[in-house]
């Protein structure tokens, strides 16, 4: 056995394959962010300079890896975990049958003159983390480990049936949302990955993934990140690791999950969903259905689902589904620098505080960034003097009530029914226009039309109802003059009318009074 730093260009196909097999052999410590697939896709997508990157490797007699720690240069004689800012955590990757791999890596770091080392969010639950820290100390390093975050994990016993029984409360919670959606629309989940999946299937799935990202609160993926993620999925698919789950409402993609099955771990990599569906709780539905699909399908020989990894960061959903939360440590090691060794804990705390403050300030600046004003022109909508003058029956108009809030939330992209009224100014109203309510009009207290949204299937008009027609119907019903503001390059700065097409048609009653209703259930 020998250990040495390797340049990325030294890594050939055989070494890369051994690297990936090494990670997969780590059972409950297998992590897609430790694989060569992730390493190579990150290099490919972000074009990091390879001369500043080394993979500290413990090699067997055939020059294949038995232990690994990818690093990048962050200063003279200073090294850190490769691409730390793009990964949620990092491991020292050691084969389960190699008891001295972490010690050998520590020795290689000391021999090659690494005087400062920063390791990003090392899992405290991994025995190799403790062995590496002990090895660094044995090689003369002063080591400081600080809790930075925590993993969000759930042990699995008995496959999907046991997992579902363990989280029976969340199962019922997700089932209620799914039942509510199925009462109105068809709800399906497509799986991409596994036997018979073609490369073109992943291409089509990734196109849906990027589109949903752009429609989510996260915003569109940056080109470099999209390239890296697409390459990661392609590389992982060759090992049958990657799974894409697309939740569709009436055939329309609403939410999507990316998962990896690696070793004995099912890892939830990322999610994206169309915010217009937020009021339906589809984030909860896709989470639980994805877990069912990934745990219930057959796993490779020698592996079984023993752990669900929901990734670091805390959310209300993860707090319910991840009862095991072992600490992640930021580890700093210093050698041959006595002053730095003395101040190491203080420096680490100061750096963490500075990064937290900078992140907070960036978020505040982003929220406070001025919005570029849109030039608009005012359109005055008077009520019709005689709505029957053309021989047409006037559109019925009535004010929306509490029973209509779910439809309003879906049509306008609110995160829930309670947000329909949240922040509503005194005098603001919602109006439903049409025999079968196919248009929503949001009217401000100053009689300005703020929003016009499609709602339900319009069988009478072969085209979308223009906003001024819907506003005219409301103006006529109220007997008042309304105003709306449409974008106009020659206009003055203002707030333009929001036009919201609903993501899927809301089913409406076929008989009886005009009222939103469940599919096939007249009221």
Q: What is the DSSP string of 368-379?
A: HSPPPPEEEEEE
pLDDT > 80? residue 348: no
Are 357 and 460 in contact by the 8 Å Cβ rule? The answer is: no
Fold of 153-309: Aminopeptidase (3.40.630)
Total residue length of the chain: 523
The mean pLDDT value of the chain amounts to 87
What is the torsion angle, in degrees rounded to the nearest 10, for the CA atoms of residue 137, residue 143, residue 148 and residue 153?
0
- Chain centroid offset of residue 496 CA: 30
DSSP 3-state of 350: helix
Of 432, 434, 391, 429, the closest CA to residue 411 belongs to 432
> Per DSSP, what are the bridge partners of residue 81?
71
* pLDDT, tens digit (0-9, with 9 covering 90-100), for 460-488: 554 556 788 888 889 988 989 999 998 88
Contacts of 316 (CB under 8 A, 6+ apart): none
Are 132 and 105 in contact by the 8 Å Cβ rule? The answer is: yes
Q: Which pLDDT belongs to residue 392? A: 57
Comparing 353 with 185, the larger pLDDT belongs to: 185
* pLDDT, tens digit (0-9, with 9 covering 90-100), for 355-388: 667 766 766 776 666 667 889 999 999 988 765 5
How many angstroms separate the Cα of 475 from the Cα of each of 65, 372, 382, 455, 479? 75, 31, 6, 19, 6
Q: Which pLDDT belongs to residue 515? A: 41
* pLDDT, tens digit (0-9, with 9 covering 90-100), for 120-147: 999 999 999 999 999 999 999 999 999 9
* pLDDT category of residue 510 using cuts at 50, 70 and 90: very low
Which range, of 232-236, 303-307, 419-423, 471-475, averages the lowest pLDDT? 419-423
pLDDT > 50? residue 459: no
Mean pLDDT of 500-508: 68
CA atoms of 171 and 288, how far apart (whole Å):
7
Diameter of the chain measured on Cα atoms: 94
How does strand 116-123 pair with strand 78-81?
Answer: parallel
CA atoms of 458 and 216, how far apart (whole Å):
27
pLDDT > 60? residue 5: yes
Contacts of 135 (CB under 8 A, 6+ apart): 102, 103, 104, 105, 106, 107
DSSP 3-state of 175: helix
CA atoms of 81 and 421, how far apart (whole Å):
48
2-148+328-334 homologous superfamily: Gcn5-related N-acetyltransferase (GNAT) (3.40.630.30)
* pLDDT category of residue 282 using cuts at 50, 70 and 90: very high
CA atoms of 89 and 153, how far apart (whole Å):
14
CA atoms of 515 and 272, how far apart (whole Å):
32
> Per DSSP, what are the bridge partners of residue 375?
493
* pLDDT category of residue 342 using cuts at 50, 70 and 90: low
Are 18 and 64 in contact by the 8 Å Cβ rule? The answer is: yes
Are 86 and 101 in contact by the 8 Å Cβ rule? The answer is: no
* pLDDT category of residue 119 using cuts at 50, 70 and 90: very high
Q: Which pLDDT belongs to residue 516? A: 41
* pLDDT, tens digit (0-9, with 9 covering 90-100), for 234-273: 999 999 999 999 999 999 999 999 999 999 999 999 999 8
Q: Which pLDDT belongs to residue 30? A: 98
Rounded to two decimals, the pTM is 0.85
Of 34, 239, 61, the closest CA to residue 128 belongs to 34
Are 305 and 159 in contact by the 8 Å Cβ rule? The answer is: yes
464, burial (CB in 10 Å: exposed 0-12, middle 13-18, buried 19+): middle
Q: Which pLDDT belongs to residue 522? A: 33
* pLDDT, tens digit (0-9, with 9 covering 90-100), for 159-188: 999 999 999 999 999 999 999 899 888 999
According to CATH, where is 3.40.630.30 located in the chain? 2-148+328-334, 153-309
CA atoms of 459 and 519, how far apart (whole Å):
17
CA atoms of 232 and 235, how far apart (whole Å):
5
Q: Which long-range contacts (CB under 8 A, 24 or more apart) does 388-397 make?
A: 394/473, 394/476, 394/477, 395/433, 395/434, 395/435, 395/473, 396/433, 396/434, 396/435, 396/514, 397/431, 397/432, 397/433, 397/473, 397/474, 397/476, 397/477
* pLDDT, tens digit (0-9, with 9 covering 90-100), for 55-111: 999 999 999 999 999 999 998 889 999 999 999 999 999 999 999 999 999 999 999
> Per DSSP, what are the bridge partners of residue 145?
331
């Amino acid at each position: 056995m020998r250990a040495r730093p390797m340049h990325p260009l030294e890594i050939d196909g055989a070494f890369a394959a051994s690297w990936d097999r090494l990670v997969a052999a780590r059972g409950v410590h297998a992590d897609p962010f430790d694989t060569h697939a992730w390493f190579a896709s990150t290099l490919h997508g972000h074009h990091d300079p390879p001369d500043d990157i080394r993979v500290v490797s413990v090699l067997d007699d055939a020059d294949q890896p038995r232990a690994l720690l990818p690093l990048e240069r962050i200063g003279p004689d200073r090294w850190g975990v490769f691409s730390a800012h793009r990964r949620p955590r990092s491991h020292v990757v050691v084969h389960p049958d190699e008891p001295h791999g972490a010690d050998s890596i520590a020795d290689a770091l000391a021999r090659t003159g690494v005087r400062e080392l920063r390791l990003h969010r090392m899992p405290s639950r991994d025995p190799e983390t403790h062995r590496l820290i002990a090895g660094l100390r044995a090689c003369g390093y002063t080591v400081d480990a600080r809790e930075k975050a925590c993993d969000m994990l759930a042990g699995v016993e008995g496959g999907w049936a046991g997992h579902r029984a363990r989280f029976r409360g969340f199962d019922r919670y997700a089932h209620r949302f799914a039942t509510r959606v199925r009462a109105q629309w068809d709800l399906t989940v497509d799986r991409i990955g596994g036997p018979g999946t073609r490369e073109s299937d992943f291409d089509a799935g990734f196109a849906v993934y990027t589109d949903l990202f752009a429609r989510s609160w996260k915003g569109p993926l940056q080109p470099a990140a999209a390239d890296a993620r697409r390459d990661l999925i392609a590389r992982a698919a060759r090992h049958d690791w990657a799974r894409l789950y697309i939740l569709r409402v009436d055939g329309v993609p609403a939410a999507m999950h990316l998962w990896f099955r690696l070793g004995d771990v099912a890892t939830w990599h990322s999610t994206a969903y169309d915010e217009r569906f937020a009021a339906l709780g589809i984030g909860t539905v896709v989470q639980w259905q994805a877990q069912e699909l990934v745990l219930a399908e057959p796993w490779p020989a020698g592996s079984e689902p023993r752990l669900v990894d929901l990734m670091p960061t805390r959310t209300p959903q993860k707090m319910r589904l991840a009862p095991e939360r072992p600490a992640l440590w930021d580890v700093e090691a210093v050698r041959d620098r006595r002053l730095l060794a003395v101040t190491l804990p203080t420096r680490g705390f100061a750096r963490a505080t500075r990064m937290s403050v900078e992140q907070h300030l960036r978020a505040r600046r982003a929220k406070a960034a001025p919005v570029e004003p849109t030039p608009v022109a005012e359109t005055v909508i008077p009520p019709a003097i005689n709505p029957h003058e053309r021989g047409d029956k006037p559109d019925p108009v009535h004010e929306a009530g509490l029973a209509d809030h779910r439809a309003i939330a879906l049509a306008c992209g609110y995160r829930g029914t309670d947000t329909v009224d949240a922040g509503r100014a005194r005098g603001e109203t919602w109006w439903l226009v049409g025999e079968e309510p196919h248009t929503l009009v949001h009217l401000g207290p100053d009689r300005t039309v703020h929003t016009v949204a499609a709602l339900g299937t319009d069988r009478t008009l072969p085209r979308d109802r223009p906003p001024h027609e819907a506003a005219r119907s409301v103006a006529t019903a109220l007997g008042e003059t309304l105003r709306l503001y449409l974008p106009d390059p020659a206009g003055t700065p203002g707030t333009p009318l929001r036009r919201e097409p609903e993501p899927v048609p809301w089913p409406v009653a076929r008989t009886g009074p005009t009222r939103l209703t469940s599919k096939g259930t007249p009221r």
